Amino acid sequence: MSLPPLPNSAIDLGADAGTWRDAVRLVGNALERSGATETSYTDRMIEVIDEFGAYIVIAPGLALAHARPGSDVLREGLAVVTLAEPVAFGHPHNDPVSVVLGLAVPTPETHVTTVAQLANVFNDASAIPAIAAATTPDEVRRVFDADN
Amino acid sequence: MKIVAICGAGVGTSGILKVNAERVLKRLDIDAEVTASDVAGVADAAADAQVILTSPELVDKIGKTFADVVIIENYFDLDELERKLEKALG
C-alpha cells in the first residue's frame, strides 16, 4: 500500500500563481503531464471549489485539490505544486496556501488507501513546511516516502 | 455510535477526516462507525448519526440535522480532532 508515484512531471516547485484558480490549474497540469488525467479533470477540480468553497484547504498552507472519479481520470495520480508567493483560497483559518496537492482517483474504492497514506504523511506537522521549502523533486519525494 | 465526515466531492478530504477520526476514537477507546459522504448525500448519511465532522466552509450547506456538527480546521491535527470529538461525545 503506497501513494501513487510522484515523477518529476507531477512536481512543480516555486510556481507563480496569481489566484487560487491559477494554482489549481497548475496542479491539474501536473496531473495531466504525469499521465493521470485529462484536461477536463482540472476544470472539474475548479468547479468543486466554485460550488463548495475553499474547504479543500484542509490544513494551514495546504490545499488538496480533487474532484469525483470520472472517465477523465486515466489512472490514480498525485501531483505537488509549491507556490513562490502563497495565494488565498478564501478559507477562514488556513489561508494563505503555499502547497497545493492534486489527487485523482479512478474509482471511489481506490481512494481509501491513498488518503490513509496521505494522512500518515501529513499528520507529521513538519511535512507541509518541508514541502514548501523543497527546491528539488527528490526533497519532495523524501517527505512522502518518510512514512512508507 | 455513528459519525459522518462530509466533504464536497465525497472522496479525498472526507476520507482523510474519516481516517484520522478513526485513529482518534481508537486513542479515546470509543467504539464508533465513521463513514465519509458528500454534501449532497448528507441527509441520508447522517440520518442516524450522532456527529457530523466537516470544514468551516461547508457548515452552511449541511442544512437541518439532529447530529452535532463538529467543525475541524486542521484535518491533520489529531489533537484538535481528539479535543473536539471528546467534547461532542462526552
* CB contacts < 8 A (A, B): 85
A3 lies in a domain? no
Report chain A residues whose CB lies below 8 A from the CB of B77: 59, 125
Take residue A122 and report the three cell numbers written for it: 501529513
Decide if A119 and B57 are in contact by the 8 Å CB cutoff: no
Topology of the domain comprising B2-77: Rossmann fold (3.40.50)
- ipTM, 2 dp: 0.90
Report whether B32 contacts B5 (CB < 8 A): no
Average pLDDT of chain B is: 91
* Residues B43-71, mean pLDDT to the nearest whole number: 89
The CA distance from B13 to A89, in Å, is 16
pLDDT at A148: 52
B34 pairs with which residues across the strands?
B3
Is the Cβ of B71 closer than 8 Å to some Cβ of chain A? Answer: no
pLDDT at A56: 95
pLDDT at A147: 58
- Residue ranges of chain A whose pLDDT lies below 50: none
The CA distance from B6 to A50, in Å, is 17
Does residue A93 have an active-site annotation?
A: no
Report whether A43 contacts A102 (CB < 8 A): no
**Percent of chain B predicted with pLDDT > 70:** 100
Q: What is the CATH number of the domain that holds A72?
A: 3.40.930.10
Structural domain spans, chain B: 2-77
A1 lies in a domain? no
pLDDT at B19: 94
Biggest alpha carbon–alpha carbon distance for chain A: 36
Q: Which domain holds residue A131?
A: 8-145
